[in-house]
């Protein structure tokens, strides 16, 4: 995992303005917690703010918090943010257009971030386009190895019971392997597959898996932190 200096160099080279704060969430807990604590960030890649994916990720973060006082959590919702994947391929934004990726990148670059959970709705048995764009833009980290060695868990929320949650999880995980992240499962399952029918809270098994995923990402983060 990159040290603080590497992260600072990365921030400078990526031209990320430290004052930029457009990401749509604030820390849920842990303000003022002792230094050396670990922050787990959950990223909702649903274009619908506050819906099923966000709710299931909150359950993940409950699981993370349960691991101990040293764990801070934060939910970042990409809903409403403009994140253009083509930039990763070197296609510049139109003159005068600024998208929102740098504000999220800034949060992920904080040295306190010790683990990440990515949640996506299932769209035609795959991840949302927002999730794909986000993962493509993470390429700025790839070049600097900022995410290498960091634990990451994946959650997928579908409208059907067998709507493609598992293949969606695998697809996201495959991309994260490219970043050399430490992909963590729920314990004997490879991610949290959640069914949204009538609200994710009705899917007891799915929410249990979400909680387990958050717990295991936090436990792995602490173990790797030493």
Spatial CA neighbour of 173 closest among 124, 120, 106: 120
Judged by CB under 6 A, does residue 151 bind ligand FMN? no
- Within a 10 A sphere around the Cβ of 58, how many other Cβ atoms? 20
CA of residue 1 relative to chain centroid, distance: 17
In angstroms and rounded to an integer, the radius of gyration of the C-alpha atoms of the chain is 16
Stretch that binds ligand FMN, among 21-29, 33-41, 47-55, 86-94 (CB under 6 A): 47-55
Phi-psi region at 198: left, alpha or beta (left = phi > 0; alpha = psi -120 to 50): left
CB 90 within 8 A of CB 136: no
Judged by CB under 6 A, does residue 51 bind ligand FMN? yes
What is each CA distance from 52 to 9, 68, 203, in whole angstroms? 37, 26, 11
Binding mask 59-98 for ligand FMN (x = CB under 6 A): ----------------------------------------
Binding mask 177-206 for ligand FMN (x = CB under 6 A): -------------------x----------
Judged by CB under 6 A, does residue 53 bind ligand FMN? yes
State the residue number with the nearest CB to ligand FMN.
163
In the complex, minimum distance from the CB of residue 213 to ligand FMN, in angstroms, rounded to a whole number: 16
Q: How far apart are CA 108 and CA 193, in angstroms?
A: 24
Judged by CB under 6 A, does residue 121 bind ligand FMN? yes
Judged by CB under 6 A, does residue 172 bind ligand FMN? no
* Interacting residue ranges for ligand FMN, rule: CB under 6 A: 46, 48, 51-53, 121-125, 157-160, 163-164, 196
């Amino acid at each position: 995992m990159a040290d603080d200096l590497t992260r600072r160099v990365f921030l400078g080279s990526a031209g990320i303005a430290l004052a930029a704060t457009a990401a749509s969430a604030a820390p849920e807990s842990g303000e003022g917690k002792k230094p050396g604590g670990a922050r787990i960030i959950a990223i909702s890649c649903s274009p619908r703010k506050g819906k099923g994916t966000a709710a299931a990720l909150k359950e993940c973060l409950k699981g993370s918090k349960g691991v101990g006082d040293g764990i801070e959590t934060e939910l970042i919702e990409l809903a409403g943010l403009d994140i253009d994947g083509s930039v990763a391929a070197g296609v510049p934004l139109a003159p005068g257009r600024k998208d929102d990726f740098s504000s999220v990148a800034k949060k992920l670059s904080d040295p306190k971030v010790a683990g990440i959970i990515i949640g996506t709705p299932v769209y035609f048995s795959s991840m949302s386009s927002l999730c794909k764009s986000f993962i493509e833009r993470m390429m700025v980290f790839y070049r600097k190895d900022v995410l290498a060695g960091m634990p990451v868990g994946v959650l997928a929320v579908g409208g059907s019971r067998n709507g493609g949650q598992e293949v969606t999880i695998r697809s996201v995980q495959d991309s994260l392997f490219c970043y050399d992240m430490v992909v963590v499962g729920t314990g004997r399952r490879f991610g949290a597959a959640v069914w949204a029918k009538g609200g994710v809270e009705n899917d007891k098994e799915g929410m249990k898996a979400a909680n387990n995923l958050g717990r295991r990402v936090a436990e792995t983060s602490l173990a790797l932190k030493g």
